[in-house]
């Protein structure tokens, strides 16, 4: 293995493999698996160093909403750059963070009127967990210390967020470091037995939660869920009824509801917030990924006036004394504001109804493909599972499919045997059709 690379001789890929430790990667697999150096991006397309074009079907890890190098977002960031690039948010404030907070709060009809900022999704989850626990401490409910999470849920990989995550490949190596949590049945609609509906599965999962809360609510601070789609958990989708039932149970048993909308928020589900499908509001709502249009690291946790007021006190230690160096970064907030402006000016949610229909049309072949099960869609996410008897090597399927996707000019990154697309909200009908047929070609090359 080469340890030192020569910047004059070696390719960018070789130098990267020598010096950069890549995320979510067993680095040794790059001996046979390509690493791609991207030179530029425009719209939904990425271009490698050789000028090959790749259609970004997964929005660069679910972050990019309006394309790469979007003129409007570029302009907002460069405009902000001329004013103030960053200032600490303790003791200071600035227009972008105020305007963004007001706009987001308005999107919840002021139900979640207080916004706390961080830089990455996992940190926003940590904030929700800490605020919930601290709220109960401040209210004389010292025993409320534990969290409930869903089987197959994902909330990030810092130790607090990982504790409420139930995805084995991320969790197993660190299990001994994590706090105990209650992990309950997922409402994953794929669990429906014959004659059962997604609603039946959701009701059953909610009953399980009810049984737990009945017994343990005095020890439970909050339940955390990914509304409607467990994205990292193979895009498992479920009925909005579940959210409504969980909201009722949380009210009945005095437990907070944390809606982690880091992946499903910002229009991905078909509404701006996925919780809107169930007509409920959580006590905490986290956003990241798409909020800055995939431009800059930004995350946030929104909460209610009731929770905010519990921390408002003459005593310093009753405050929420949590911070990140880049909390509320003005450039990231300017990018986020530009995204919210695009949502309004271009009627994005309305047009996404048509885009979601395009998506369904582009993958109509998958509905009747006998090699595929659980074809499913929620707004701008479409997924299906490949039946195991058609997969040569289960542990290599996702990587082979990725590689065959590259040959077809599409960036896809299956999760286990689940193939999904989650494109930016800018594809033309023709690009969407091209995506559907390229994914099909890649699948045909990969399967036996």
List contacts with ligand PLP (CB under 6 A).
120-122, 125, 154-156, 226, 231-232, 260, 262-263, 288-289
Helix (H) or strand (E) segment spanning residue 116: strand 114-118
Strand partners, 410: 55
Q: How far is the CB of 230 from ligand PLP (least distance, A)?
A: 8
Judging by beta carbons within 10 Å of its beta carbon (0-12, 13-18, 19+), is residue 388 exposed, middle or buried? exposed
Q: How far is the CB of 153 from ligand PLP (least distance, A)?
A: 8
Which CB atom, from 155 or from 191, has the smaller least distance to ligand PLP? 155
Which residue, among 367, 250, 287, has the nearest Cα to 103 in the 3D structure? 287
Tokens of 234: 């193979």
Strand partners, 397: none
Strand partners, 256: 222
Which CB atom, from 288 or from 418, has the smaller least distance to ligand PLP? 288
CA distances from 381 to 58, 69, 203, 363, 374 (A): 9, 22, 24, 12, 13
Which CB atom, from 264 or from 435, has the smaller least distance to ligand PLP? 264
Output the CA torsion sign for 149, 241, 301, 268.
Answer: positive
Cβ neighbours around 196 below 10 Å, total = 13
Non-local (6+) Cβ contacts of 447 within 8 A are 371, 386, 390, 391, 392
**Strand locations in 261-317, DSSP E?**
284-287, 299-303
Q: How far is the CB of 382 from ligand PLP (least distance, A)?
A: 17
Q: How far is the CB of 122 from ligand PLP (least distance, A)?
A: 3
The residue whose two tokens read 């969790």 is 171
Which CB atom, from 153 or from 436, has the smaller least distance to ligand PLP? 153
Q: How far is the CB of 393 from ligand PLP (least distance, A)?
A: 27
Q: How far is the CB of 1 from ligand PLP (least distance, A)?
A: 28
Which residue, among 275, 265, 297, has the nearest Cα to 381 in the 3D structure? 265
Q: How far is the CB of 326 from ligand PLP (least distance, A)?
A: 13
Strand partners, 302: 115, 285
Which CB atom, from 236 or from 310, has the smaller least distance to ligand PLP? 236
Which CB atom, from 125 or from 163, has the smaller least distance to ligand PLP? 125
The residue of the chain with the least Cβ separation from ligand PLP equals 121
Which CB atom, from 260 or from 400, has the smaller least distance to ligand PLP? 260
Q: How far is the CB of 24 from ligand PLP (least distance, A)?
A: 9
Which CB atom, from 154 or from 284, has the smaller least distance to ligand PLP? 154
């Amino acid at each position: 293995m080469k340890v030192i690379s020569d910047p004059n001789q070696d390719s960018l890929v070789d130098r990267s493999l020598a010096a950069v430790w890549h995320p979510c990667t067993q680095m040794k697999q790059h001996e046979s698996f390509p690493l791609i150096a991207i030179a530029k991006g425009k719209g939904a397309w990425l271009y490698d160093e050789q000028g090959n074009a790749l259609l970004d079907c997964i929005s660069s890890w679910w972050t990019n909403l309006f394309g790469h190098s979007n003129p409007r977002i570029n302009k907002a960031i460069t405009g902000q750059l001329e004013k103030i690039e960053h200032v600490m948010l303790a003791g200071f404030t600035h227009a972008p963070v105020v305007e963004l907070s007001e706009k987001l709060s308005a999107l919840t009809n002021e139900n979640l009127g207080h916004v706390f900022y961080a830089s990455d999704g996992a940190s926003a989850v940590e904030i929700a967990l800490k605020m919930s626990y601290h709220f109960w401490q401040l209210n004389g409910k010292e025993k409320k210390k534990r969290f409930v999470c869903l089987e197959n849920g994902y909330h990030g990989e810092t130790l607090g967020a990982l504790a409420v995550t139930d995805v084995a490949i991320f969790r197993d190596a660190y299990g001994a470091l994590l706090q105990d949590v209650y992990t309950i049945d997922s409402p994953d609609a794929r669990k429906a037995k014959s004659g059962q509906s997604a609603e039946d599965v959701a009701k059953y999962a909610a009953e399980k939660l009810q049984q737990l809360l009945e017994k343990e609510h005095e020890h439970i601070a909050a339940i955390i869920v990914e509304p409607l789609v467990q994205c990292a958990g193979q895009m498992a989708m479920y009925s909005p009824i579940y959210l409504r039932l969980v909201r009722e149970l949380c009210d009945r048993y005095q437990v907070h509801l944390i809606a982690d909308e880091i992946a499903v928020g910002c229009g991905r589900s078909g509404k701006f917030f996925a919780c809107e499908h169930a007509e409920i509001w959580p006590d905490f709502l986290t956003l990241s990924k798409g909020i800055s249009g995939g431009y800059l690291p930004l995350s946030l946790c929104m909460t209610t006036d009731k929770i905010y007021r519990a921390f408002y006190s003459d005593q310093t230690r009753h405050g929420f004394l949590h911070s990140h160096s880049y909390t509320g970064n003005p450039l990231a907030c300017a990018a986020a504001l530009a995204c919210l402006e695009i949502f309004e000016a271009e009627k994005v949610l309305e047009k996404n109804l048509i885009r979601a229909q395009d998506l369904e049309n582009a993958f109509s072949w998958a509905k009747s493909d006998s090699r595929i099960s659980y074809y499913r869609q929620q707004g701008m996410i479409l997924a299906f599972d490949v039946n195991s008897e058609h997969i040569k090597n289960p542990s290599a399927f996702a990587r082979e499919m990725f590689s065959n996707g590259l040959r077809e000019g599409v960036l896809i990154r299956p999760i286990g045997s689940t193939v999904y697309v989650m494109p930016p909200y800018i594809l033309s009908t023709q690009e969407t059709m091209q995506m559907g047929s390229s994914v099909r070609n890649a699948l045909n090359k990969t399967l036996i």
